[in-house]
C-alpha cells in the first residue's frame, strides 16, 4: 500500500510541476545562407561601326566571343554564334550573355562605350 501511495504522489507531483511550469519551445526559423561570390565581368571591347552595327569582343578565362551586334528594335543590339547570344541595350548600357540552347545566363553587367575617364 505504501508503494502505491508513493507512486501516486510521485506521479501527481510530476504532473503538477508540468502543469505549473509550462515548457517553452524554441521556434527555429530557417535563415537563407548568403554566399558571397565575386561578380565576374569579361573583358569587353565595343566599337560602333555605324547606326545599326557594333563590333564586340568579350574575353574571360576560356570564354571568348567576337562578333557584330546588329540593331533589332529600339536600342537593343544582338549577336550570336553556335553557343551563346549576346544582347546589348544601348539605353541602359546592359550586356547580357546567355546560352542559346538552354537560356542559362552567363553574364549580366553594365558597360558604357563612352570614355568615362575623360568626363
Q: How many domains does the chain have?
A: 1
Boundaries of domain holding 99: 43-118
Flag whether 25 is in a domain. Answer: no
Flag whether 83 is in a domain. Answer: yes
Alpha-carbon distance of 41 to 82, in angstroms, equals 21
Render each residue's pLDDT in the chain as its tens digit; 119 residues: 555 555 455 555 555 555 555 566 666 666 665 555 567 889 999 999 999 999 999 999 899 999 999 999 999 999 999 999 999 999 999 999 999 999 999 999 999 877 666 55
Flag whether 1 is in a domain. Answer: no
Q: What is the pTM of this model?
A: 0.64
Helices (H) and strands (E) in the chain, counts: 1, 7
Amino acid at each position: 500500500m505504501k508503494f502505491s501511495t508513493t507512486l501516486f504522489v510521485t506521479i501527481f507531483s510530476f504532473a503538477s510541476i508540468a502543469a505549473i511550469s509550462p515548457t517553452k519551445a524554441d521556434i527555429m526559423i530557417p535563415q537563407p545562407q548568403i554566399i558571397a561570390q565575386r561578380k565576374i565581368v569579361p573583358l569587353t571591347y565595343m566599337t560602333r561601326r555605324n547606326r545599326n552595327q557594333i563590333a564586340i569582343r568579350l574575353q574571360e578565362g576560356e570564354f571568348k566571343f567576337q562578333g557584330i551586334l546588329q540593331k533589332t528594335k529600339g536600342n537593343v543590339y544582338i549577336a550570336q554564334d553556335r553557343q551563346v547570344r549576346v544582347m546589348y541595350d544601348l539605353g541602359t548600357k546592359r550586356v547580357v550573355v546567355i546560352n542559346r540552347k538552354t537560356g542559362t545566363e552567363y553574364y549580366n553587367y553594365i558597360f558604357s562605350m563612352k570614355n568615362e575617364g575623360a568626363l
